[in-house]
Structure 1
Amino acid sequence: MRLIPTEEQRDLAAAVRSFLADRAPMSRVREIAESADEPYDRAVWARMSSELGLAGLAVPAEHGGSGAGFGEVAAVLEELGAALTPVPYLSAAVAASLLVALDAKDLLPGVAAGETVAVVAPPGEEPPVGRLVDRGEWVLEGAVEPVPDGPSADLLLVVASTGDGRRGVFAVAPDAPGLTVTPLASFDTTRPQARLGLRGVPARPLGAPDAGAAVDRALDVAAVLLAAEQLGGMRRCLDAIVEYAKLRVQFGRYVGSFQGVKHRLADMHCVLEQAESIVRYAVWAADEAPDELPEAAALAASFMGRAYFQVANDHLLLHGGIGFTWEHDAHLYYKRAKADELMLGAPRVHRARLAAVLGLT
């Protein structure tokens, strides 16, 4: 059992970090976040996919990918989370894992090349309903919201109820008749969200008629990969506020010398250390121990949301008055942390699921 990143994973992270510093600085992040026309940075996405080959990291080589594991995907997501890069990499990675599980061979090459941005529309409390019509084709009825990166999608993977407690996964084109994709006002403007309205939308079923197991695994993978992205954001917040505490002078002293500040920074560091242990275990389980994945994913989801928001909140507050200004980057991490905390459900949902997995209910 190896939880420490390999040398290759560290080199990959360093390459991505250098690329993002050059091509996606915070000024570019703000430009995309404030744009009404660009849901993500298409130029950065194209170079990430073509030059770095990141879109197909976890896609098998026979389908156009590089056949790497979730450890490599997590290394990339940590850097993207640290830089708040506005690209749909998290959604695309989750969609790719689901397509691999469903053996959707014809869709994988485009996803691996980054030419097709696939996004999973997760099932809510009332998932859409899939039914067969007279001509023997499937159509979907209902609505899904929120769908992270929904406005960016070239391919929507909709999880729908097919009757008798079964769940199916359906491929839907973003321009399909009867489909409406409505952008939502999002607290985190670096990751757009959408509402899908489905009124007799023609859809193509993928995989087995009952794809429940594949869907559950995809949701676990989503929790693990989101946790990796959150870890990157937490680390960037702590690094930034530590540097600020070394430079900011108040009452003739560096603020980092004040006991209250030192204790707060120490608490943030302890939270980060716990978070890293949880994420490393979850990523290992996703690659090496599928039987442990549900527990590891529930643990990561129940801990990381609150932890990231705590660190991002303290990061903002310790910057003092400047941290509350629109011009400072602290509010971007604060908003990302809060949006991530709720993306896959409130922390209490994941705590209840973890308790169920551990047999405590």
Structure 2
Amino acid sequence: MTSSHRDAQAPWPRSEPSALTPGSEQAEIREAIRGVLAKYSAIEQVRAAADSAPGYSVDLWKRLVTDMSVTTLAVPEEAGGLGYGMVELGIILEECGRALAVEPVYQHAAVGVRAMMEAGNSNLLDEILDGRTVVAVSALTVESDDLEALRTGDGWAVSGQARFVVGGGGADLVVVSARAPEGTALFAVPTKSASAVRDRRVVDSTRRQADLSFDGAAATLVVPAEKADDAIARIQDVATLALACENTGIADALLQMTLDHVKTRHQFGRPIGSFQAIKHRLADLLIELERARSAARYAAAVHDEDPDDARLAIAVAGAVCGDAAVHVAHEAVQLHGGVGFTWEHAAHSYFRRVLGNEALQGDSRAHRERIADFLAV
């Protein structure tokens, strides 16, 4: 095999993406979303919204849709969007992680919109982009979906269970995978047609999950069986990248929170942040945060150029950003001392979100297994 042929088959990106370095427009997006979340998504507001019936603040969700265009930001102009990409949506997701926002930005604006774009159904997509119809997407795996789809006179009907659906209890529409006569396909089902909706007990109360049961519920075919495997791969890539961005924001928030604490917490007449051992630990966390930010930003930039070429970069981001968030969360709890272990402290909620994110798209070991598969090692 010649060198040029090996390069053509390489699974890694072959050029530096143009969107890797953020510009003034990206900085303005970050400043705007951070201002909105600082005002409406303080930790007390987050916890109150998580305990509400839908599991999020309806008012803040409307603001994010109308003022920040979170549902249309990464949608091409010809499909009714603003024509940006995952770089810009990644900034939104990072800031949502930083504020521990409970609004359905991850499950709707990132994953749900991606699923609807796979459908190519303008009517469905229009309903999703205006934010009034909230969509949730199941994990689209054998473990999550046990559904069968049968043809009816004028459409489809699905029966069975969709498990571990993020935001499923508060969504209007859920995208699931189901066994059809031609093979596994993707369907959109109104949650009001579910015969039962059961909230699951999960480690992260700020991101609720539900099991939905259907018994002959009317469904819309989103992606036919012959295209479902590729569509599921693209949807899961976006889900992994979205959580990588969110984990980066979580690590940023926890590191800043810890820095503020060690500057004001005194022992032996000195701030504990002045001790050499604490400085070294914080320096290590800063390095991990910068690695995570670079990995997530690079993966988003490559995805905007060619989604199929970004899968290795996304797997790397999933592993690096997940590890960074877990490590920073552990250290944040430890360095806050006894108060960091209490339910009342914000670090506790961030820590639970990190653990919950691992369960959604896999821990760093799972992502590294994907990297090994891509590289055939």
TM range (shorter): over 0.9
Deviations 1:268-300 (Å, cap 9, x if unpaired)? 111112111211111012111323222122222
C-alpha separation in 2, matches of 1:216 and 1:140: 22
Pair 1:214–1:271, CA change in 2 (3 A)? same
Aligned to 1:336: 353
State the partner residue of 2:138: 121
Alignment of 1:215-254 (within 5 A): 215-254=232-271
Q: How far apart, in 1, do the equivalents of 2:179 and 2:286 lie?
A: 44
Question: What's the C-alpha RMSD, in Å, of the aligned pairs?
Answer: 1.8
Residue of structure 1 in register with 2:281 after alignment: 264
Q: Report the counterpart of residue 80 of structure 1 in structure 2.
A: 96
Q: Distance in 1 between matches of 2:28 and 2:201?
A: 37
What are the Cα deviations for residues 203-239 of structure 1, in whole angstroms up to 9, with x where unaligned? 1112333222111101001101111011011011111
Output the CA distance in 2 between the equivalents of 1:143 and 1:230: 29
Following superposition, the deviation at residue 65 of structure 1 comes to 2.3
Pairing partner for 1:15 from 17, 32, 46 = 32
Structure 1 distance, partners of 2:243, 2:363, is 14
Q: TM-score, normalised by structure 1?
A: 0.93
Matches within 5 A, 1:43-192: 43-92=59-108, 93-126=110-143, 127-133=145-151, 135=153, 137-162=155-180, 166-176=183-193, 178-192=194-208
Question: 3-state SS of the aligned residue for 1:106?
Answer: helix
CA contact (8 A) 2:158 2:214 kept: yes
Q: Using the alignment, how far apart are the partners of 1:137 and 1:291 within structure 2?
A: 31
Q: Which residue of 1 aligns with 2:335?
A: 318
* Counterpart in the other structure of 2:6: none
SS in 1 for 2:101: coil
**Structure 1 residue 203 and structure 2 residue 219: aligned?**
yes
Shift of 1:37: 2.3
Q: Distance in 2 between matches of 1:84 and 1:198?
A: 32
- Per-residue Cα deviation, 1:230-276 (whole angstroms, up to 9, x for no partner): 10110111111112111111111110111221111111111112111
User: How many residues in Structure 1 have an aligned counterpart in Structure 2?
Assistant: 357
- Residue ranges of structure 1 left out of the alignment (5+ in a row): none
The separation in 1 between residues aligned to 2:59 and 2:318, in whole angstroms, is: 31
Q: 5+ residue gaps in structure 2?
A: 1-16
Aligned partners of 1:305 and 1:342 also within 8 Å: no
Checking the alignment, whether the CA contact within 8 Å between 2:241 and 2:300 is kept in structure 1 is yes
TM-score, structure 2 as length reference: 0.90
Change in CA separation of 1:241 and 1:134 when aligned onto 2, cut-off 3 Å: closer
Match of 1:298 among 302, 315, 331: 315
